[in-house]
Structure 1
Amino acid sequence: MISGFTDTAAHTSTDMLPLTPHANLPMKTEALISLLIVAHVAVRVVDILAQSGPSFEGA
């Protein structure tokens, strides 16, 4: 399960797999937080670009 999640959420190769069950949750949490941060930044960029787009009101 952790391998599938990290393969889906990773931006690089997943060389580090948890050796113990106790390491699964922190590694999943870290990958999820990273994915959410990247998604949040992408949404902000799109929002900024949409607001500063070309204005056609004066044409």
Structure 2
Amino acid sequence: MAVPKKRVSKARKHSRRANWKLTLPGIVTCPQCHEPKLPHRVCAKCGYYDGRQAIEVEAEVKKA
């Protein structure tokens, strides 16, 4: 049976466990407003998901 010879430090253990997810999430464009958004989520700009209005989004006021 394999037994470790030395104790693994917290830093070494945590850095090993932290490296499993290094890729960025895929970003898609919204079919309604063509803004970038995360897949399978409501668009923050227009509020659409799956071709229908999911949430009501307030219009942004632009400051000059």
TM-score by length of 2: 0.28
Relative contact order higher in (CA < 8 Å, ≥ 6 apart): 1
Higher share of residues assigned helix? 1
| TM-score normalised by structure 1 residue count | 0.29
Structure of greater Rg: 2
